[in-house]
Structure 1
Amino acid sequence: MSHKVVLAFLLAAAAPARAVTSVVLLPATGANVHEGHLTAATDVLRAHLERTGKLAVTVAPVPGGLRAEPSPLEAAQAARAGGAELAVTLRIARLGNVASVRLAAYRQDGSAAHVDELGAAGPDDLDAALRRLAAGLAEGRPAHALAEIDTVTEREADPYLKYVATNVFGIRLGSAFLMNRASPAGTSHSAAGGGVFWLYDARSFLADLSFDLYGGDADRLVALGIGFYRPFSKGNVSPYLGGGVAYHWLQTGGDGAAGLAFRAAGGVLVGRLSTVQVRVEAGWQVSAFTEKVHEASPVTPHGPFATVGLGY
């Protein structure tokens, strides 16, 4: 025998044996579940527990089926009676198309050593859920963190339900009062016009996309904006406050300029519960850029605006 073989034999003999925990498995109990599924779940869970290599499993000769889940004291008594370190209970409860699969392990004194739970969409999900629950008990980790490509449940794969946001398209008319104009320097002038908007209602907040055109004399303003608002009523008439940002192309007698502008606005939405809505809004907008003026200092136009819109 070569010295390498002898060395490998000595190392193997010196390595400590892997600790194995003795557990007694109580038959599965459940609510609104076929008793045959509970019996099969007990057998499948036992196989998965043994497959971990860390647990020595025996099944307790106690009744399972459609009955109450064993209490911690009852589980502790089963552990003592079976001479096991832990007693494992399995509870499957179904409500509609969703089932809850709960595994708990108790020590001989009735204290909980491990409690875990996974959801299942149906009987086909049980094997994957039981496999992960067994691995979680053996490794002392939550089952939801042990998903693998072949143990993701249908319940986990289902997309989350979300609120449906309604939206309306609208046309509006209004006026923007431009202050601190380029020419004559520092003067104010109103520009009339209108535009279109898409208003999205997500219940707890409103959001809109808008495109507006204003003009008057030497003034030109084109605005592409986005806004967010908080409604103060869930009724058919809903006041709101908010603000947003827009990209402005404007000319107020100078060289013209383009850039971002910030808006603060408030209004009233009439017909929020209807397919036809009236939207009255007023606010203030401030440019975050300047417009150059020949032989003069650049100016920063700003000012109030007001609109009336019809959405449908």
Structure 2
Amino acid sequence: MKKFLLSVLVLAVALFAAEKVYLAPVGLTGMHGDYAVASSKLMKAYIEDDGRYILVVGSAEDGVTADNQAAVRQKATEKGCSKYIIAEFTRLGENVIMSFKLYSVDKDAPIWDDRLKARNPDDFDPIIQRVARNIGTKNKAVDDTDIYSVTEQETKTPKRKGVNSYIGMSVGGLMAFQPEFDVYAGLDFYLMYDAQVILFGIDWDIYGLGDDSKLGYMDIAISAYYPFGTKAITPFLGGGLAYSHTEYQSDIPLEYRSTNYNYSFYDNDEEFEDGSSGLTGFIGGGVMFNRSSRVMFIAQAKYMINFYKNDVFDYEKMDDGRVQITSKDHAVQGFVFNVGIGYGF
């Protein structure tokens, strides 16, 4: 019995704390009247679920319409409401402009308003949910930076829906820690598919550009990244695998090119160059800029390591003046960083 009384008391306090808001009959232009009834029921359910307001839904018996603000205000006052909502839906071609205004009974100007565009009736439910969640706050119903919102504000540039893939190029470098510390310039050509909740990529990378570069690296990579949100500026994290080919030219002076105390000298640089192929793994992330546009910018950083090794030659001058050349396997690894641009299609 005590628990029941406590529950009743809590409910009574909650009902007393929430403001009563009057919803005038929804005004429709070019639409069937059933949409007004259904929308009013959804508004009441979602607004009362939020808990800030108790919605008193107007009906035809109230004798007021959305285009008569004075009558709506009077009816809201009669019903003991401190605020009232005027909602109007206007069909323009295949789209419906949905206008929502929240008034205080003691003010002529709205204290909150928003106007959104529904592409089809399926948009009504998410629009009304967002209006119910944000009405009376400092926020609008739709976040303008959310590029995958199912709705659009009439006065805003339409958000991207058809662009899901990018083709682009970036420039950057490989900061190798193995076999020795050095930075090698490179290019990355990529194709990226944006599936909203995940990013898939196919890349062709080449690093070690330049005649004086000791390292040559090239791969074909596949990757998957998790984007943190659907904003126009979106950070992401993930990784992938690549099939790569690496060539490393060991720096052995001409006069020391003998092996294992062998005094036969080598004039051919290829004697100390090793090429190997295999799998490469990498993890990292980056940031997409202007994701809502046909032209997208991207900045990335990742750590890569070869799952295979290259022979790296070294030399040591002995006490007797002779030179010993040795080789050791190293897995090329280091940071890759690049910035680039992509075109959406």
- With the length of structure 1 as denominator, give the TM-score of the two structures: 0.45
Q: Which has the larger radius of gyration?
A: 1
- With the length of structure 2 as denominator, give the TM-score of the two structures: 0.40
